[in-house]
Amino acid sequence: MEVIIKDNYEEVSQLAAEYLINTVKSKNNAVLGLPTGSTPMGMYRIVIETYKDNNISFKDVTTFNLDEYVGLDKNHESSYSYYMDKNFFSHIDIKKENTYIPNGVAKDMEEECNLYENLIRERGPIDILFLGIGPNGHIGFNEPNDFFEPHTHLVKLTEDTILANSRFFDNMESVPKKAITMGMKSILSAKKIVMLATGEAKSDAILKSIKGKVTPQVPGSILQLHNNVTFILDKDAAKYL
Ligand code: F6R
């Protein structure tokens, strides 16, 4: 495991963007695993700027997002599908049909989870997967649990996560209570994993993920089992290391 500590959010975003761009430069049909949330916003912005200034193309790239809220369709402004279009996909030359995000309004959720899992298997392996982490240690929406869920599955979000996510909604009532997320086996099957974390609120989860025991109570701790993982942290997220 490699741990890189940067001075601030901008430097974390810059380095993360370099990982993404270098992956696409060295493999034009790379498969990327992508997160949403506040943390990767800077990375997407820098990748878009680099794309505009340089000769890189995403036309053969495939992406798999980690998760999606249940109950929000792709046009809902708080859906992760909408987020990805707005913050990344609509600014680059990626083909929409190569961008996969679980369907949060599928009629049969179990079937949707199986479909997504099979797609990752068929189109994968993911060359590089970017992750954020919740203050409770969740990765994707794998919340603290008694066991590690291996495959894409439906999850009930914890109160902590619902509260943390409420900043993107008008009120608490409209925050979805469930999500579809990649499971741990899907996450660990990526060839390379890059975890991004900034801010003091993540410092405890980062300490436990890097130095604690591997336990489903701290989902991020499973990354200790992967042989090619890089944590890119700012000083605040790294403060207990
Ligand atoms: C989102 C995701 C989540 C976030 C995590 C951190 O697709 O998978 O695990 O990465 O909740 O979110 P931010 O970056 O908003 O602090």
Q: Name the average pLDDT for the chain.
A: 96
CB crowding 146-168: b at 16 or more within 10 Å, else e? eebbebbbbbebbeebeebbeee
For residue 129, give its domain range.
2-234
Q: What is the CATH number of the domain that holds 110?
A: 3.40.50.1360
Closest ligand 1 atom, residue 36 Cα: 7
Q: Which of 9, 36, 218 to mutate to test the pocket of ligand 1 (most atoms within 8 A of CB)?
A: 36
**pLDDT the model gives residue 173:** 87
Report residue 6 CA to chain centroid gap: 20
Whether 184 is in a domain gets the answer yes
On the question of pLDDT at 89 being above 90, the answer is yes
Residues in contact with ligand 1 by the CB-under-6-Å rule are 35-39, 66-67, 132-134, 138-140
Q: Which residues contact 238 (CB under 8 A, 6 or more apart)?
A: 3, 5, 203, 206
Positive or negative CA dihedral for 28, 31, 35, 36?
positive
Q: 40 and 3 in contact (C-beta within 8 Å)?
A: no
Q: How far is CA 198 from CA 128, 165, 202, in A?
A: 20, 16, 7
Please state the domain count of the chain.
1
What percentage of the chain carries pLDDT values higher than 70?
100
Whether 167 is in a domain gets the answer yes
Whether 241 is in a domain gets the answer no
151 is catalytic: no
Given 65, 68, 103, 136, the catalytic residue: 136
Which one, of 177, 171, 104, 181, lies nearest residue 138 by Cα? 181
**pLDDT the model gives residue 164:** 86
Whether 239 is in a domain gets the answer no
**pLDDT the model gives residue 18:** 98
On the question of pLDDT at 231 being above 90, the answer is yes
Give tens-digit pLDDT for 115-148. Answer: 999 999 999 999 999 999 999 999 999 999 999 9
Q: Say how far apart CA 170 and CA 130 lie, in whole Å.
A: 28
User: How many C-beta atoms surround the C-beta of residue 75 within 10 A?
Assistant: 9
Give tens-digit pLDDT for 159-178. Answer: 988 988 888 888 888 899 99
Given 67, 112, 127, 234, the catalytic residue: 67
Whether 240 is in a domain gets the answer no
Give tens-digit pLDDT for 189-205. Answer: 999 999 999 999 999 99
